[in-house]
Amino acid sequence: MRLTVRHDTLYRYARPAVSAIQHLRMTPRGHDGQFIRKWRVEIDADCRLDREEDAYGNIVHTFTADGPISELRVSVAGDVETIDTHGVVAGTIERFPLVFWQRATALTEACRNIAEFARDTSSGEGGDALATLHALNAGLVRLMRFAVGDTDTRTTASDAFAARAGVCQDFAHVFIAAARSLAIPARYVGGYYLRTDMNEQEAGHAWAEAHVAGIGWIGFDPAHGMSTTDRYVRVAAGLDYLDAAPIRGTRIGGSGETMAVTVHVEQGPVIVEE
């Protein structure tokens, strides 16, 4: 499937900022399930955009903009060819042993209730890892309510599970916490998803990947209760949201910050190249 993506983030400041430093994880890499036909990053400020890789192999763009800054827009756009691999993720950069992906973080620590949910689910599937992961994925979409505004980027898996509510980021954190409590390697993934009901979205998407012996990494989207397909564009991965956040940074000065995000994902036209 050919997908086109545009992601715009606009910052406004009531009192102009003196300067801003931003780190962007907004550029996907190719793997066996996706080919990047073209991709660009644009900043509406006079600054140099440096490209590097982080420890996970994510592409990171960094820039410093000098003020006064009243508005700052970050835009990415691209064209990606995706293949439905039935959730199996291969051809990605892997720099850590599997045991690394069993590490808990502050956002993915499994509380007693998450651990019990994971154990009960695993027991019901006879301890089969793949069946357990599919059951966790299906179970969370039944147990939790998708609710915008009930959580934020600091919400832990335990808090989201206790509230039985959250956004895709929270569903992914709970799934990861549950999988790791069973000693199954799991990680957080940020990217984009082609919805069936609309092209315009208020944010990107998040899901999880878990490793099953003999198969490899498999993508699970607990917010939708399904495995990843060719409707997904994989951008960045890490232990939790903080490792794969699209934009992280800091500023000097400035006050009254507001942020507006628009994401547009659609199926692009099929073009026959001669």
Query: What is residue 274's predicted lDDT score, i.e. its pLDDT?
Result: 40
As a whole number of angstroms, the distance between CA 203 and CA 180 comes to: 27
Confidence check: pLDDT of 195 > 60? yes
Pair of tokens at residue 78: 């691209």
For 152, the 3-state DSSP assignment is coil
- pLDDT confidence band for 269 (50 / 70 / 90): low
- Give mean pLDDT, residues 109-120: 98
As a whole number of angstroms, the distance between CA 185 and CA 181 comes to: 9
Query: What is residue 271's predicted lDDT score, i.e. its pLDDT?
Result: 47
Q: pLDDT of 24-37, one tens digit each?
A: 999 999 999 999 99
Contact 23, 250 (CB under 8 A): no
- pLDDT confidence band for 179 (50 / 70 / 90): very high
- Give mean pLDDT, residues 57-81: 95
- pLDDT confidence band for 92 (50 / 70 / 90): very high
Pair of tokens at residue 58: 């994510």
- pLDDT confidence band for 254 (50 / 70 / 90): confident
As a whole number of angstroms, the distance between CA 108 and CA 154 comes to: 11
Residues of the chain with pLDDT > 70, as a percent, come to: 98
- What Rg, from alpha-carbon coordinates, does the chain have? 19
C-alpha distances (whole Å) from 268 to each of 85, 150, 190, 262, 271 are: 19, 34, 21, 18, 9
Confidence check: pLDDT of 82 > 90? yes
Q: Count the residues in the chain.
A: 274
- Give mean pLDDT, residues 124-130: 95
Confidence check: pLDDT of 198 > 80? yes
As a whole number of angstroms, the distance between CA 92 and CA 222 comes to: 21
Helix axes 168-181, 112-124, angle to 10 degrees: 70
- Give the least confident one: 42-46, 197-201, 219-223: 197-201
Q: pLDDT of 6-62, one tens digit each?
A: 999 999 999 999 999 999 999 999 999 999 999 999 999 999 999 999 999 999 999
